[in-house]
C-alpha cells in the first residue's frame, strides 16, 4: 500500500509540472500578442484620448486567464478523483487478495480433512477374517486395520439379552465388509433392501443369504409421494421387490419395512392391504441416528437408548443404514453389545413385529 501511495504522489507531481509549463507557455504567447496589438494602434490617437480612455486588458488575454483557472480547477478535480479511484481500487485488490488466500487455506484444510476421512472410510473395506479361539493368556493377532480385540468376557451381572440389528437401503458395494464384521462377532442381522440396489449388487444379496443373514424388502422408489400414493402403490412396490429378490437369490421373504417407517404414511387401509398379502411389517424402537450423525455419535446414541430400555420387555430392534460412516464405527457398537452380553439375532416371520403406535 505504501508503494502505491508513493507512485500516486510521483504521477501527481509530474502532471502538475506539465500543466504549469503549458500554462506558462500560453501566458508568454498571449503577452507577445498583446504587445503586437498595442504597436498596431493608430499613431493619430491623441494623448488626451489616451489619458481619458485607459487601455483595457485585451479580451483574448482575459479569456486566457479564465481558461487557465478553469483548467486548474478541472485538474484538481481530476487528480483528486483519480487518486481516490486508485486508492479504492488498491483497497479492493488488497481485500480480494486476502479473501483468495483465506479461500485457498480453507480449501486445503477441507481437502486434508476429506483425505483423512477417506482413509478412515477405506479401512473397513478389507474383509475381517474369523479368529480362532485361543487361550486368554495369548494376545490376539492383528489381522488388519478393522480387526479388534475379541469381545470382553460377559459380566455375570449382565443377564443375556437379545438385540436385533437391521440395516436399511442396501445392498452396497461394501455390504460384504458389514457381513464380515458381523461374523467376527458371531452376530446376525436383517437387511431390508431396495430393488434397484439388489440389481446393482446381486452378489451382495447372495452373500447375505448364504451367510445366514435375514433379508427383507424395502420397496423400489424410497420416495414418500410415490410409495404412499395408495394401497396399490405400497403393495406394488413390495411385490416388485420380492420378485427381484427371488430371481437373484432364489428365496422368498415376507418381511418388509416401509420407507421412513410406517408412521404416518401407513394408514389403516394400507396396513390391511399388506397384511392381506401376507407381509410382516417391521419398524424399530431404537433409532441409531446414523443417517444424521454420520460419525461415532450414532454409537453413543444407541448405547444411551439401550440404557433406557434396560428394564423393558420385548424385542429391541435397532435401525442402521448401509453407509460408509456406519461401517466405519460399527466395530465400536459390536464391541459394546458383546461386552454387555447381548446376543445379536436376525428377525424371522414367526415373531410379532415391532410397529409404531400412532405417535
- Catalytic residue numbers read 168, 321
- Phi, psi for 193 (deg, rounded to 5): -110, 150
Buried b (16+ CB within 10 A) or exposed e, 249-272: beeebebbbbbebbeebbeeebbe
**Quick one: cell of 352?**
410379532
The CB-based long-range contact list for 301-308 (8 Å cut-off, 24+ gap) reads 302/333, 303/336, 306/163, 306/340
User: At 319, which helix (H) or strand (E)?
Assistant: strand 316-321
**Quick one: cell of 168?**
436399511
Query: CA-CA distance, 353 to 340, in Å (whole number)?
Result: 24
E-strand stretches of 61-188 = 161-170
Cα dihedral: 79, 84, 90, 94 (round 10): 160
SS3 359: coil
Asked whether 215 and 179 are in contact (CB, 8 A), the reply is no
Query: CA-CA distance, 168 to 342, in Å (whole number)?
Result: 21
User: At 353, which helix (H) or strand (E)?
Assistant: none
- Phi, psi for 163 (deg, rounded to 5): -130, 145
Which residues contact residue 134 at a Cβ distance below 8 angstroms, ignoring those fewer than 6 apart?
A: 140
Query: CA-CA distance, 156 to 160, in Å (whole number)?
Result: 9
CB atoms within 10 A of CB 75: 15
Query: CA-CA distance, 308 to 52, in Å (whole number)?
Result: 120
Asked whether 130 and 281 are in contact (CB, 8 A), the reply is no
Amino acid at each position: 500500500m505504501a508503494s502505491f501511495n508513493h507512485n500516486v504522489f510521483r504521477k501527481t507531481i509530474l502532471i502538475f509540472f506539465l500543466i504549469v509549463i503549458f500554462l506558462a507557455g500560453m501566458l508568454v504567447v498571449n503577452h507577445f500578442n498583446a504587445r503586437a496589438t498595442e504597436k498596431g494602434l493608430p499613431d493619430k490617437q491623441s494623448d488626451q484620448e489616451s489619458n481619458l480612455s485607459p487601455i483595457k486588458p485585451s479580451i483574448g488575454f482575459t479569456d486566457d486567464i479564465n481558461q487557465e483557472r478553469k483548467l486548474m480547477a478541472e485538474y484538481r478535480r481530476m487528480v483528486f478523483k483519480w487518486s481516490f479511484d486508485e486508492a479504492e481500487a488498491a483497497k479492493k485488490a488488497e481485500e480480494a487478495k486476502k479473501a483468495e488466500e483465506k479461500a485457498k487455506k480453507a480449501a486445503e484444510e477441507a481437502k486434508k480433512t476429506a483425505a483423512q476421512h477417506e482413509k478412515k472410510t477405506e479401512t473397513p473395506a478389507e474383509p475381517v477374517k474369523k479368529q480362532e479361539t485361543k487361550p486368554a493368556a495369548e494376545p490376539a493377532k492383528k489381522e488388519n486395520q478393522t480387526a479388534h480385540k475379541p469381545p470382553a468376557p460377559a459380566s455375570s451381572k449382565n443377564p443375556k439379552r437379545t438385540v436385533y440389528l437391521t440395516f436399511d437401503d442396501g445392498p452396497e458395494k461394501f455390504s460384504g465388509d458389514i457381513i464380515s464384521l458381523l461374523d467376527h462377532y458371531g452376530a446376525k442381522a436383517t437387511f431390508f433392501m431396495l430393488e434397484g440396489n439388489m440389481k446393482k449388487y446381486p452378489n451382495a444379496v447372495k452373500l447375505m443369504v448364504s451367510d445366514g443373514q435375514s433379508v427383507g424388502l424395502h420397496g423400489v422408489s424410497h420416495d414418500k409421494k410415490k410409495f404412499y400414493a395408495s394401497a396399490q402403490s405400497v403393495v406394488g412396490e413390495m411385490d416388485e421387490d420380492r420378485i427381484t429378490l427371488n430371481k437373484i437369490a432364489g428365496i422368498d421373504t415376507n418381511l418388509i419395512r416401509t420407507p421412513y417407517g410406517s408412521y404416518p404414511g401407513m394408514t389403516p387401509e394400507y396396513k390391511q392391504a399388506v397384511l392381506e398379502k401376507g407381509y410382516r411389517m417391521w419398524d424399530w424402537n431404537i433409532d441409531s441416528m446414523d443417517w444424521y450423525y454420520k460419525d461415532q455419535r450414532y454409537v453413543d446414541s444407541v448405547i444411551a437408548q439401550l440404557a433406557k430400555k434396560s428394564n423393558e420387555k420385548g424385542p429391541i430392534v435397532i435401525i442402521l443404514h448401509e453407509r460408509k460412516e456406519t461401517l466405519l464405527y460399527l466395530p465400536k457398537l459390536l464391541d459394546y453389545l458383546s461386552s454387555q452380553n447381548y446376543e445379536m439375532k436376525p428377525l424371522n416371520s414367526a415373531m410379532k413385529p415391532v410397529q409404531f403406535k400412532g405417535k
